[in-house]
Structure 1
Amino acid sequence: MSSPADPDDHVRPFVHNTRHTRALHFSIHEVQSFMRVAEPDALALAYTRLMMGFLLFHPQPARIAMLGLGGGSLAKFCHRHLPASGIEVVEINPHVIALRDEFEVPPDDARLSITQGDGARWVRTSPEAFDVLLVDGYDYSGLPSVLATQRFYDDCSASLRPGGLLAVNLFRGHPQHELHLDRLRRSFNDAVLEVEDEERGANSVVLAGPGLASRRALPASVEPAQGMDTSAWDSLATELAHLRTAHERWRLQRPPVRAPRRA
């Protein structure tokens, strides 16, 4: 039986370059990751900026885990702008990891670790809990089924520290999209907020976890996370405002918080 590390079991992506951009593809029709050459650490796609919305709820995470590397957009942004955070990335496709230099992903250091492996298994077995878990593990066929099962979402919930948060990128056109949302609600005691990516429309970012469950309104103005410069924080402004509006609507419509489920 082959292991997740066997390169022959994984589709080899390709890189498309223009004068100003670099993109990671599994097929010419779908962009997996996108980088502006002049700003390699910037978040060029709106959904990635929306995933950084966890900062409204957890502005100083000590431990960030990511399932799916792609071109490393989120890993690079967090590594540069959240200097107090440790970042662990798990990517199942070794061919994707092999392209990290092309996308200017920094080398592993005391704060950044990128490993090859099965992300669902890693979340289940990780000995330490996370403050933030980012799931963006699409491959050539779309969303892997293993990253959308009830067990996976249960494991995600169990992996978070008190006040922790999950952010997951979902394709709204997936035939089981509503089922995936229902599974998330079951795993996170209904503390689930879906926010549509207004730039592309086909995707949404779902935030879930105890850090979301407070019925308090988010402040209208939030200071940048510790160590993040103003320009980086300002680059997130549109998506954070969109998320703040969605959270307020969700907060007002949500019934009183129920007691956690007991086994």
Structure 2
Amino acid sequence: MTSTQTGWRAWLAALFGASRVDVPPHLRKPSIRRRGDTIELQFAHGVSQSQMVTRDPDRLMIDYTRTMLGALVLVPRPRSIGMVGLGGGSQAKYCYRHLHDARIEVVENNPHVLALRRRFHVPDDDARFRVVLDDGAHFLAGRHAGYDLLLVDGYDETGIPGALSTQAFYDHCRASLIEGGAMAINLYCEDPAMHVDRLQRAFGPGNVLVIEEPRQSNRVALAWTVGTASLAAADDAMALSPTARRDLARVFANVREALAAR
């Protein structure tokens, strides 16, 4: 720690190391923690960004990752899926395994996270799967009407980055979807109301649904283009594998119930 560091910078330098304070959040290296047969991706000690069971690497371990896929009730047969934030690749792996007809495009802005993709069994790029190193907000701005389904789970150790919190970003989320498309976003933050307000401005006040996670301190917001909510597809209408439909049956039931109660 240098003599010029005072106040909060000095405290952070003591906690994380001086070099870490000066590194932008999207370039900071995550750590890997092992707990028995489970490995975790962490930016801050004790806070897991992703979890994976090594003997079953495609399983969705954290509740919100399952809830986000409740958006499949609105878009039962997505042909093109966009994802902002790779992390340990939980949703990317799950969709790749269980949505065989979908093309999946993931954008991640941290090269150190990308370097861990084999450690977390993230598939190699192929004809229907690719991971791009880029700023998520910038990347999404160039994907007009590119996706049926958009999943946003972009975090660093500070929370949701500012670039993924603006009204312009949410407007780009809406523009990136085809008519009849939907998105899901993980809102693990101190100001979820701000994000919901911006989603409502982008999609319309009647086209946003917030689902609380009872076992976690976060929530998932679903948003859809005009008319999508009326679909509420039955499980057997989905392109998901039978295994995944059984696995996510409770999530789908919860989403349908929440839509019906609006």
TM-score by length of 1: 0.85
Q: Structure 2 CA distance, aligned partners of 1:46 and 1:104?
A: 20
1:139-178 matched pairs, under 5 angstroms = 139-171=156-188, 173-174=189-190, 176-178=191-193
1:1-263 matched pairs, under 5 angstroms = 9=24, 10-126=27-143, 129-171=146-188, 173-174=189-190, 176-190=191-205, 191-200=207-216, 202-210=217-225, 213-214=228-229, 216=230, 218=232, 221-223=234-236, 225-226=238-239, 228-250=240-262
Q: Structure 2 CA distance, aligned partners of 1:186 and 1:27?
A: 32
Q: Structure 1 CA distance, aligned partners of 2:215 and 2:132?
A: 31
**Larger radius of gyration between Structure 1 and Structure 2:** 2
Indicate conservation of the 8 Å contact 1:64/1:85, yes or no: yes
Indicate conservation of the 8 Å contact 1:24/1:34, yes or no: yes
Indicate conservation of the 8 Å contact 2:83/2:105, yes or no: yes
Ranges in structure 1 where 5+ consecutive residues have no aligned partner: 1-7, 251-263
Deviation at 1:212, TM superposition (A): 6.2
Structure 2 residue matching 1:223: 3-state secondary structure: helix
The AA in structure 2 aligned to 1:74 is Q
User: How many residues were matched structurally?
Assistant: 237
Q: Which has the higher helix share?
A: 2
The AA in structure 1 aligned to 2:250 is T
Identity %: 41
**What's the C-alpha RMSD, in Å, of the aligned pairs?**
1.7
The AA in structure 1 aligned to 2:51 is F
Indicate conservation of the 8 Å contact 2:145/2:175, yes or no: no
Deviation at 1:128, TM superposition (A): 5.1
Structure 2 residue matching 1:138: 3-state secondary structure: coil
- Cα 1:103–1:211 change in 2 (3 A) is farther
TM-score by length of 2: 0.86
Ranges in structure 2 where 5+ consecutive residues have no aligned partner: 1-22
Deviation at 1:218, TM superposition (A): 3.4
Q: Structure 2 CA distance, aligned partners of 1:70 and 1:119?
A: 13
Indicate conservation of the 8 Å contact 2:107/2:135, yes or no: yes
- Cα 1:33–1:150 change in 2 (3 A) is same
